[in-house]
Every structure is written in structure tokens, then in C-alpha cells.
Structure 1
Amino acid sequence: MDGVRGRLETESQQAHRRLASLTRDFDRVVAGSRDANGDDEHDPEGATIAFERSQVGALIRQTEHHLGEVDAALARLDAGTYGTCERCGASIDQGRLEARPVARTCIRCAA
């Protein structure tokens, strides 16, 4: 299980770096929108700025969700329940855990 922990910790570190980068991007977009024309309806760049802000915001939420999943997988590892389906209690196939180390359910329950 040390290999699993290492992989999850690496995923956590990567996600934290991605989150920091996305947060900087979001802050730049917001700062840029302050300098832009405030009339989105008549400003050809207004819709682009709003779209970009929305896109970066969605990526931030997605990364935060993934961090939560990694943290939950680490907690299951500590509790000794990692690799056990949360729905039916069966073992999660090793191939599924290799492909998706944060998996909470076996393939049958996920379908």
C-alpha cells in the first residue's frame, strides 16, 4: 500500500500546483476585466472575458473536487477500507484502482 499512498500523495501535490496556477489565472482574468470596458453588451471583449472567467472558475471547482477525492482515498487507506466498494463491500479490481486510484466503487456498482 506504500505505492498507493505515494501515488495519491503525488496526485495531491499535482492538484495543489494546478489549483495554485488556476487561481493565479483567475486573478489575472478578474484584474483584466477591471481594466476593460464595463459594458459587456457593447464591448466585443466583454463576452470573452466573462467566458474565460467562467471556464477558469469551472476548472478550479473541478480541481478542488479532485483534491477532495484524493483526500478521501487517503482517509480510506488510513482506515484500511481502501479498495473496498462503498456500495456492495466487494473488492475493487486492481486494474480499476490503477486507472482511477480515487475509485470508491467497483465496476459493477459504478455502472
Structure 2
Amino acid sequence: MAALEAERADATAQVRDLERAVAGVVEASRDSNADDEHDPEGATIAFERAQAIAVRDRQLARLREVDAALERVATGTFGRCERCGCEIAPGRLLVRPTSHTCVSCASVR
């Protein structure tokens, strides 16, 4: 599925860029005072590092979702709800191609 492959490529590129950003923030923190609590720059660096890691982790989760959807394509289960087995509405898959449940089952969560 072309949309999933494109989303995978995008997520992979973003993870790679975010890994570089995290490495840059970590490298910058090496040059600062190790005592973040008393260093005015330390809190900013710690915050930037936490933000970069959080965004990277969200992109890694997105990448896992895309890979799971591609696996469903490979096994022939893509477009079927994992809970009830019904077909997932094409509109839902168009908007969110990584969906693994139908709207009814997703709303029960």
C-alpha cells in the first residue's frame, strides 16, 4: 500500500532527524555545568533533551504502527477489525491507514 510506505518513509526520516537532535542536545549538555539544578542553562538543556526524546518516542510509536499495518497487508488481514473481524470502513483507512479496529470497536475502548 503506497500510503503506508510513504508514511513509513516519513516516520523513518523524522526518527533519524530526531535522533540527531537528541544527540545534539546531549552533546551540548556535555559542555554545560553538570549540576542542572543550579545552572540557569541546565534546566533549558534538560527540557530540550526531554522534549526531543518525547517527540522521537512518538515517532517511533508511529513507525511501529505503520510496520504493524504493513504486516497486516502482508498477511491479508489489513482492513479487518482485530476485535470483531468486520471490515474497517474505507474512509477510516483513508484517514488513518494504521487503523486496526473498526469505528464501533474503537469507540468501546
Match of 1:108 in 2: 104
Partner of 2:11 in structure 1? 15
Q: Secondary structure at the match of 2:50?
A: helix
* Count of residues paired in the alignment: 107
TM-score (norm 1): 0.93
Any stretches of 5+ residues in structure 2 without a counterpart? none
Aligned Cα RMSD in Å?
A: 0.7
1:74 equivalent to 2:70? Answer yes
Distance (whole Å) between structure 1 residues aligned to residue 59 and residue 18 of structure 2: 9
Q: Which runs of 4+ in 1 moved over 6 A?
A: none
TM-score (structure 2 length as normaliser): 0.95
In structure 1, stretches of 5+ residues that fail to align are: none
Q: Any residues of structure 2 matched to 1:1-111 within 5 Å, and which?
A: 5-111=1-107
Letter paired with 2:31: D
- The amino acid that maps onto 1:79 is T
Q: CA deviation at 1:33?
A: 0.2
- The whole-number CA distance in structure 2 between the counterparts of 1:40 and 1:50 is 7
Cα deviation digits, residues 76-101 of structure 1 (max 9, x gap): 11111100000011110111101100
